[in-house]
């Protein structure tokens, strides 16, 4: 299976009619979850908050694992077109640890409010494989052109 990213439909609505995420100033985090109930549902009846994800897909555990705060976040006009805005960030690293996790299946990007039941998810990333930090670090990099693009 090829890697793919999904934006929850509930976020799309909240960005224009609810409590939007300020991608430039809010605290944004990445957490890893197991396969559990499969790919978290991102339709209008699917996930909205971190707690919605972790109710069906447990967060990974293992020595050295913790949620990572996104750094060097940028939201800017795309340089190649005048109709697109890009969101990107520095590489997210879950460091190698011999006793670390072995079962990460999805990466979840969310705004952290300090409470999972009020922390909105804005991206579900499916790498297409199960990830382990036991033999090497797990690193997610923002692709050229940004992790998200608003057209």
Delimit the domains of the chain by residue range.
4-19+27-150
pLDDT by residue (tens digit) across 70-107?
999 988 887 776 667 788 899 999 999 999 999 999 99
Taken in order 71, 145, 59, 18, the sign of the CA dihedral is positive
Quote the pLDDT of residue 143. 79
pLDDT at 87: 84
pLDDT of residue 77: 80
Query: What pLDDT was estimated at residue 62?
Result: 94
Could you tell me the pTM of the whole model?
0.90
Q: Identify the CA nearest to 103 among candidates 64, 135, 62.
A: 62
Q: Report pLDDT for 24.
A: 85
The tens-digit pLDDT sequence of the chain (151 residues) is 577 887 888 877 777 677 788 988 999 999 999 999 899 988 888 999 999 999 999 999 999 999 999 999 988 887 776 667 788 899 999 999 999 999 999 999 999 999 999 999 999 999 999 999 999 999 999 877 777 666 5
- 52-89 burial, b if ≥16 CB within 10 A, otherwise e? bbbeebebbebeebeebebeebebeeeeeeeeeebbbb
């Amino acid at each position: 299976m090829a890697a793919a990213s999904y934006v929850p439909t509930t976020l799309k609505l909240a960005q224009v009619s609810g409590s939007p995420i300020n991608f430039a100033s809010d605290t944004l985090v990445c957490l890893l979850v197991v396969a559990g109930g499969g790919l978290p549902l991102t339709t209008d009846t699917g996930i909205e908050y971190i707690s919605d994800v972790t109710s069906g897909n447990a967060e990974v555990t293992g020595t050295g694992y913790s949620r990572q705060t996104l750094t060097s976040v940028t939201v800017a006009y795309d340089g190649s077109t005048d109709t697109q805005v890009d969101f990107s960030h520095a590489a997210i690293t879950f460091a190698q640890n011999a006793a670390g996790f072995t079962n990460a299946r999805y990466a979840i990007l969310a705004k952290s409010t300090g409470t999972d039941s009020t922390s909105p998810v804005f991206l579900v990333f499916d790498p297409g494989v199960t990830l382990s930090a036991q033999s090497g670090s797990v690193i997610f990099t923002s692709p050229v052109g940004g992790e998200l693009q608003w057209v």
